[in-house]
A and B are shown apart, each in its own frame.
Chain A
Amino acid sequence: KAGVTQTPRYLIKTRGQQVTLSCSPISGHRSVSWYQQTPGQGLQFLFEYFSETQRNKGNFPGRFSGRQFSNSRSEMNVSTLELGDSALYLCASSLADSQTNTEAFFGQGTRLTVV
């Protein structure tokens, strides 16, 4: 069973550009969450999608957005990139239905560097 796949693994962008990251969850998982990981802040929750709907959103500016497709694959987009957006972006998938807390499986992450 394939794990969570994130592409690309590494990305370098310049300030002001926009970027799209992709996440393919484990087959059968309908919940996909995105996190930003930096040395100073640790893992920060961005948003969570379930069956193409955003169910939860963290405290990030509107420049950060996401979506989920009917096959549960998800993308996140960051517009007008800032230097402070440099981070490891992690995607996690889980079975999580509306009532059950379940384990999340993480991908390897996309390392974004903004220069």
Chain B
Amino acid sequence: GESVGLHLPTLSVQEGDNSIINCAYSNSASDYFIWYKQESGKGPQFIIDIRSNMDKRQGQRVTVLLNKTVKHLSLQIAATQPGDSAVYFCAGQPTGGYQKVTFGIGTKLQVIP
């Protein structure tokens, strides 16, 4: 079956530094990936997405990199701020548009002031 997992459960970063959160997926059929941010007591919030025909996509302070060869994606957060402290999930979705999204366990990002 499909699984999406994260390499590190917790990441501590100094305020102002860059953060890199990694994610591996197992299903080659996954062709749409999303990064979500979940703050305590809230539902996941969309950060950025990327389709399999791209290897990089940039947003505001965030960049997602996709390496289909090794089935790996990463989320880079520039100039990490205290408000970035949250759990980050990567999610993979197969072709077909159906919302059978598979999430990784999540990485907790702790920003040290």
Contacts and interface: CB of A to CB of B under 8 A. Distances in A.
Interface of A: 4, 31, 33, 35, 41-45, 48, 50, 55-56, 58, 90, 92, 94, 96-109
Interface string B65-95: 0000000000000000000000001010101
Given A48-B98, A56-B98, A101-B97, A107 B106 contact: no
A45 B101 contact: yes
A45 B32 contact: no
Interface of B: 31-32, 34, 36, 41-46, 49, 51, 89, 91, 93, 95-106
Given A45-B100, A48-B100, A101 B31 contact: yes
Nearest to A59: B1
Contacts of A107: 43
Contact of B34 (A50, A103, A108): A103
Contact of A33 (B36, B45, B99): B99
Contacts of A106: 36, 43-45
A96 B94 CA distance: 13
Given A31-B99, A99-B97, A106-B36, 11 more contacts: A45-B103, A48-B98, A50-B98, A56-B98, A98-B97, A101-B31, A103-B34, A103-B46, A105-B46, A107-B43, A108-B43
B82 to A, nearest CB: 22
A43 B99 contact: no
